[in-house]
Amino acid sequence: MNTVTKWLTRDSVVLGLKATDAKHLCGEVAKFVAHRQNLDENVIFRALWRREQCGSTGLGHGIAIPHARIPGISDPVVLFARTRDPIPFDSPDRQPVSAFFVILVPEHANEDHLRILATVSEMFSDKKFRRQLEVETDAAAIQRLFGNWAGESDLGAPKRLRVI
């Protein structure tokens, strides 16, 4: 089990999410996570939106990694979402985004937050992985794709972090 699939389940893969822009995406993600985790939707939305206002979490290649610290949770919560249509997300390559890996961590979870963020960043820097992710239409298969990714060392830390 790698760092990401420790937290990513089939139920935390959402395909066909309706969102028209970054703020709407943050709201839809907050609603989904709050319902599944019995958390305050407004707290999640504000944390995600505040982070996006500091600078886009768009990576390029149609991918973004919205992330935030959430008071009151004890373990990371992750979600992979794909929107029905790509949305503007102020990515460095100026391309719209349709694939989102959302990371919510406890307020003081520096190591978990950084490890998940680094691992997901490396996954998305892998062109083959991105292609497989783009064409997959089944939530369970997407969860397996994340689980089968072989870019991590045995210690669970990324071997290298490439900029995409």
Contacts 24+ apart (CB under 8 A), 147-150: 147/1, 147/2, 147/4, 147/5, 147/8, 149/2, 149/4, 149/123
**Sign, CA torsion 147/127/112/99:** negative
Catalytic residue flag (residue 67): yes
Catalytic residue selected from 24, 67, 108, 113: 67
**Sign, CA torsion 30/35/36/37:** positive
Radius of gyration of the chain (CA): 14
Residues marked active site are found at: 67
